[in-house]
Amino acid sequence: MTPPAAPVSAVGVVGAGAVGQAVAGTLVAYGLCARLLVASRTPGQTAALVADLDDMRAAVGSPVRPAAVPLAELVDCQAVVVAVRARFTNTHTADVRMGGAHANALVIRALGEALRGYPGTVLVVTNPVDVMVRLFADASGCARVFGIGSNLDSARYRLTLARLLEVPLTAVDGHVIGEHGDAAVVCASATRVNGEPLPVPLQQVRDELAARPGRINAGIGRTRSGPAGAVVTALRLALGVEDGLVELSAPYRDGWLGIPLRFTAGRPLPCLPALDEAEARQLDAAHTKLRAAYRALRGTPSSSLPTVRTP
Ligand SMILES: NC(=O)c1ccc[n+]([C@@H]2O[C@H](COP(=O)([O-])OP(=O)(O)OC[C@H]3O[C@@H](n4cnc5c(N)ncnc54)[C@H](O)[C@@H]3O)[C@@H](O)[C@H]2O)c1
């Protein structure tokens, strides 16, 4: 049987770890792109991933052809997903995603410089994502760079609320914005269930959003399927495969924050929901925190950048 044509010509994935693997597998299953190009630090891991993806392609009759490539070949892709993680030991018990800031900043800046001038769409997944996405945009000069995170938080929020209120997931409309981290802002005042405002059990929601990634990590080593779903949804909108709204890290005021973006034919328009006073204060706090984290990292000298190894 001839597989259905893929709507996008090529997507690249940098990083063949837990998230890179899940993103790649989801892209093959979804049939989003004709070619899926994977570049990562360890050639053996990349080749093994591509062989496994090829098996999936054959098994499901997907149009997506995977290949291991040097980083430089990703310039032909319509989009590149950055899901790398430097080797470091995370000693943070609070603000966990910030634990990798320094180590990952070096890798992200090196990748940005290697992909300088890339004309396509870049989705950064590496944490702390709201800072890494800005560093990547600086280093690469790319115009279409977005960070994944607030859309995953928003999906978890809607799921949690649906479970607490015992309503279908599709009945819940609500966003989590700001930082993909401890300074996330739950937009409770704008949340609607079956089109109606309601009192959100905020403490229960916050507790679940804080505990959920740790529970997943404890059980299966890394979060991967949720992030992969968040990446593929963002790709579909950013590449104009469909129109819709998604919460991504993007320039906002004089910083970068997770905000809802409405994509029409691939063009994003920020559309922040109405916030009450407490939510607006929380968003200001997230903005201040992320700007300070960015300033602390942006001065890292290029001479300390690691070499990006590709197959
Ligand atoms: N934003 C989100 O919603 C979200 C969700 C989950 C995970 N993450 C983040 O995504 C990142 C990846 O997570 P993971 O679990 O896949 O990590 P992992 O350790 O399993 O995989 C990391 C991959 O990056 C590759 N890599 C490292 N340095 C590289 C370089 N210089 N060039 C090319 N490849 C390089 C490694 O070889 C490996 O394949 C982490 O920072 C994690 O915190 C973000």
With a cut of 0.95, is the ipTM above it? yes
Nearest-atom index, ligand 1, CA of 125: 1
C-alpha span between 9 and 12 (Å, rounded): 11
Nearest-atom index, ligand 1, CA of 153: 3
Q: Measured from the CB, is residue 14 less than 6 Å from ligand 1? A: yes
**Span 102-109, mean pLDDT?**
96
Domain with CATH 3.40.50.720 in the chain: 8-149
pLDDT higher than threshold 50 for residue 303 = no
Q: Measured from the CB, is residue 19 less than 6 Å from ligand 1? A: yes
Distance 16 CA to ligand 1 centre (A): 8
The whole-number pLDDT of residue 310 equals 37
C-alpha span between 213 and 181 (Å, rounded): 11
Q: Which two tokens stand for residue 253?
A: 């005021």
The whole-number pLDDT of residue 67 equals 98
Residues 6+ apart with CB under 8 A from 37: 10, 11, 12, 13, 66, 67, 68, 69, 73, 74, 76, 77
What is the CATH T-level fold of the domain 150-304, as seen in this structure? Answer: L-2-Hydroxyisocaproate Dehydrogenase; Chain A, domain 2 (3.90.110)
Q: Measured from the CB, is residue 40 less than 6 Å from ligand 1? A: yes
Q: Look at 167 and 306; give whichever has higher pLDDT.
A: 167
- Structure confidence by residue, pLDDT tens digits, 14-46: 999 999 999 999 999 999 999 999 999 999 999
Which pTM value belongs to this model?
0.95
Distance 226 CA to ligand 1 centre (A): 14
Distance 40 CA to ligand 1 centre (A): 10
Find the DSSP H helices in the chain: 18-30, 43-60, 101-114, 129-140, 150-165, 202-220, 225-238, 277-298
Map tokens 């890339």 to a residue.
118
pLDDT band at 234 (very low <50, low <70, confident <90, very high): very high
pLDDT band at 304 (very low <50, low <70, confident <90, very high): very low
pLDDT band at 90 (very low <50, low <70, confident <90, very high): confident
Which of 2-6, 217-221, 235-239, 294-298 is the least confident region?
2-6
Q: Among 85, 92, 157, which is best to mutate for testing ligand 1, by the most ligand atoms less than 8 A from CB?
A: 85
Distance 274 CA to ligand 1 centre (A): 34
The whole-number pLDDT of residue 5 equals 86
The end-to-end CA distance of the chain, in Å, is 33
**Span 169-181, mean pLDDT?**
98
Domain with CATH 3.90.110.10 in the chain: 150-304
Find the DSSP H helices in 90-181: 101-114, 129-140, 150-165
Peptide bond into 128 cis (omega under 30): yes
**CATH class, range 8-149:** alpha beta
